[in-house]
Each structure stands twice: as C-alpha cells, then as structure tokens.
Amino acid sequence: MGVSRRARLIAWCTAALLLVALIVPYVIPLGSYIPAIEQGAAAALGQPVHVEALRLHLLPRPHVTAYRISVGQPAAAAIDAIVVTPKLASLFSDSGLVVDIHVVRPWIEQAGFAVVAHVAGSPRKSGGPGSPEPRIARVRITDAELRLAAGSIADLDATILLDAARALERVELSQAGGRLKATLQPAGRNFALEVAAREWQLPVGRPVKFDRLDAKGLLDANGLNLRAIEGRLYDGAIVGNLRLGWKGGWKLDGKFTVTDVAVAPLAVAVGGNSSLSGRLRAKPALSASAPAASGLAAALHLDTDFEIAQGVLKGMDLNAAARSVLGTTDAKSGDTRFDYLKGHFAVDPEGFHFSDLEIASGLLKAVGDVSISRSRELSGDISAEVRGTASLVATPLAISGTVDDPVVRPSKAALAGAAVGTAILPGVGTAIGAKAGVFTKKLFGGSPRKRVDEDGTGR
C-alpha cells in the first residue's frame, strides 16, 4: 500500500512540475524586456528591429526564445525564432554565464547585406564591470535563405564556434542537405576557406550540376580568393581559380581549363537547348565589374579558344545547304555530324559570339562566324564546302532564326552570283558565280565580327 501511495505521489509531483513548466512561459511576463532588446539591437545593426514576443521555457532545458524578429523598415531580414540556452554548469560558475544560440529559419535580402557590413565594421562594445556579458560558445543557424537578385539560396545551415576568449574558432556551413559543405577558419588576419561538394547543383544562375567540386582559398575584408578549384561535371573535368572582390565595387576574375566535358547536358543546363553535342576542351578567362553584386552577370566578359570533338549539330544540315545553292532547302530537317568544331568563343553584354569557326567531317568543311543575341536570335555567315561534288568552291550560307528554330540558307550574294553563273555556263558556272557573289560581298561590306587580340590587332 505504501509503495502504491509513493508511486502516486511521484506521479502527481511529476505532473505538477510538467504543468508548471508548460505554464511558466505564459505566467512569467517577459514582454517588458522587449523595448530594451529592440533598442540595443537597433543600435548594433543600424536598422530598426522589431521583436514580436519573448518567452521563458523550462523544457527540454531552460531557455529563452524571441519570436518573429524583423530588421529594417521595410524588412530586409527576418528570423522566425532565436533560442538562447545557458549551459547549466555555467550557472554555478564564477567565470560567467555561457550560452548557446539557435537561429531558426532566418532570411536576408540582398539589401540586408549592408546590415552585415555595418556590424562587421563597427567596434565591439563590452559590458561594464557590473554587468558582464554572457559568453557565446556556439551559434547554430538552421534553414537559412539568402534572397539574391540572381535567385534565392535556401536550405542553408551553419555552426559558428567561439573560443573562451570570444574569438572565432571555426565556421561550418552546409547547403542542399549536406551536398555542399564548407569550413572557415582564422588564418592570421584572414580566413582559410575549404569547400567540398558532391552531386551538387549551382543554387543560383544556370543549373549546372557538379559530380564533385573542391575549392580552397582565402577570405579577407576585400574579397574572396579561391586559388585552387577542381571539379568533375558531365563526364569531364574543370580546374582553375576565381577571385571575387567587393571593395570599391564588385569585381570578378577567373581562369579555368575545361577538359572533355560533354556538351549536350551542359548546353541544356546553360541555355535549355541540346542542339549541340560532343566533347569540349577550352581555357576560358572571365571578368566582370559592377557597382553592385546584382550587376555582375550582365557585365560578364568571357573569352576562350575551344574545340568540340566527335559531335553533332542538330537541326542544321550544312551538307544539304551547301548542295542546294539555287534551291530553297533551309537545312532545318537534318543534322551535321562533325569530327571537330573549333574556333573562338566570347561573351559580352550584347550576347554570345563564335568567331574563326571551323567545322570538319569526312566530306564537309565549313568556316565562319555566328552570334547569338541575349534574346537568343542567330546571325552570321558560314562558308561550307562538300567534297566530292561538282562544286569547285565553298558555298556561302547565311545563318538566321533563333537557337530553338535555326535557319540556314545560301546567302543572297551567293544566290545572285550562282544565278548569273548558271546562265553563262551551266554546272561549273554555278559554283564560279557563287564564288563571285562572295567576293562582291567582301568588297562592299559584310565582314564578320573580328576578335581583338591583346595587342589591339584584329584577326
């Protein structure tokens, strides 16, 4: 009987304690502390701060939670909750209170990065001797989102560790469920950064997917310098370096070597079109400069010589177009298989430019220049020669239409010259006349876009 009474007493006491723990957040008023918290945070951040609620919880461990915090007017950043949990041992220690902080579902817009810069550039203020500040041992951030002009980066987690002297010890970052991991550690006056990604897709911009990506570099007050980048993507490899600076405006510079990357899936990721296949080799150099980070993509410049081996150009039959100098065939119904396609590729604010192009297969050889505008419109000229035909010269072809609906036809100058040649001397005269048309076009204008070398001369 005694045992039964004791068990019931323990059960009632346990239930009472649980009830108290559940009621405490609503019984003990903490709302009076909110104005002081908002004022202190606003002074530190340089922006108005609003806290909707503040409560004390006893389960599963004693902690204080601030709910629905916003920064800025209108809000440039917000947090669902900030949970401050003291380490129990520190409550009875003479060395001071030690706490862990958990930041739940924060988001920050691009404009909010000015707040981060303000905090980073502000001198740290310590409490007076009568009011020692709690020492933060760890800050854990879960399910964060960066809302950038180029797109949002979500599913971000971070752990920030600080040592007993309140100095940064280590930052651990992860994204996409851990497919991307990064660590940041102090290295003198800078920070050493290491990045490792597996089966990871770029979260903003074009959805390029990496089988593996590893990078090492340094982060300082002026920018990020990734001195060693190695990756595997689309059955090929990429190595290089990248520098992103943000002091006095945003600047981007990088150099890479691309080896044996499959073009078709890369083209789908970059432009949404799989009209070209083969294996790519290139050494692109890229640069951009803009007042704000959001302007870098539009200001991007890229230059590289390239070669694509053993590929297919779909929806564009250069063989058929070259054979029909006087016909109406626009070569849209077939494909062009090639042994190699090489030339120079450049990107600027106007669009994408292929110059000094050379395409070769068993029977076909073609050269020319083609541009793609930002609205995906095609323009350019290709001179195609089919070996083993009656033609003695190459056939000039005009490129038009769009990336998704290309049009390839003999140029007007070639058609006019071919018509005259056919009237004078059927058969052989057709090709001679076509050549004359091309020569006339070169005399009176229509030269292709030229690449400017470093010495200022065109090629």
* CB 288 within 8 Å of CB 300: yes
Q: Is it the case that residue 117 has pLDDT exceeding 70?
A: no
* CB 311 within 8 Å of CB 279: yes
β-strand pairing of 135-148 with 98-109: parallel
Q: Pick 117 or 385 by higher pLDDT.
A: 385
Q: Is it the case that residue 313 has pLDDT exceeding 80?
A: yes
pLDDT at residue number 353: 93
Q: Pick 55 or 424 by higher pLDDT.
A: 55
> Which residues does 129 contact at the CB level (< 8 Å), separation at least 6?
none
Q: Measuring CA to CA, which residue among 104, 96, 106, 78 is closest to residue 135?
A: 96
Buried b (16+ CB within 10 A) or exposed e, 65-78: bbeebbbbeebbbb
Find out whether the peptide bond into 60 is cis, omega within 30 degrees of 0: yes
Q: Is it the case that residue 52 has pLDDT exceeding 50?
A: yes
Q: Is it the case that residue 421 has pLDDT exceeding 80?
A: no
* CB 220 within 8 Å of CB 189: yes
Mean pLDDT across the stretch 114-125? 60
Share of the chain above pLDDT 90, in %: 36
Distance CA 170, CA 163 (A): 9
> Which residues does 412 contact at the CB level (< 8 Å), separation at least 6?
398
Least confident of 150-164, 248-262, 309-323, 369-383: 309-323
CA dist list (Å): 90 to 84, 100, 137, 163, 267? 14, 11, 11, 15, 57
Distance CA 444, CA 447 (A): 9
Q: Is it the case that residue 429 has pLDDT exceeding 90?
A: no
Give pLDDT tens digits for 88-100. 776 666 677 788 9
Strands (E), 110-249: 135-148, 151-162, 168-175, 180-187, 190-201, 209-219, 223-233, 236-245
Q: How does residue 271 score in pLDDT terms, banded at 50, 70 and 90?
A: confident
Helix axes 428-443, 412-424, angle to 10 degrees: 140
Distance CA 56, CA 25 (A): 5
Mean pLDDT across the stretch 196-201? 95
pLDDT at residue number 136: 86
* CB 261 within 8 Å of CB 278: no
Q: How does residue 14 score in pLDDT terms, banded at 50, 70 and 90?
A: low
Alpha-helical segments (H) within 78-196: 113-121
pLDDT at residue number 230: 97
Q: Is it the case that residue 380 has pLDDT exceeding 50?
A: yes
CA dist list (Å): 313 to 263, 293, 317, 394, 411? 11, 36, 8, 19, 20
Q: Does residue 101 sit in helix, strand or coil? A: strand
Q: Measuring CA to CA, which residue among 401, 399, 396 is closest to residue 440?
A: 396
pLDDT at residue number 344: 96
Widest CA span of the chain, in angstroms?
Answer: 126
Q: Is it the case that residue 451 has pLDDT exceeding 70?
A: no
Helix axes 34-45, 113-121, angle to 10 degrees: 80
Give pLDDT tens digits for 281-292. 999 999 999 998
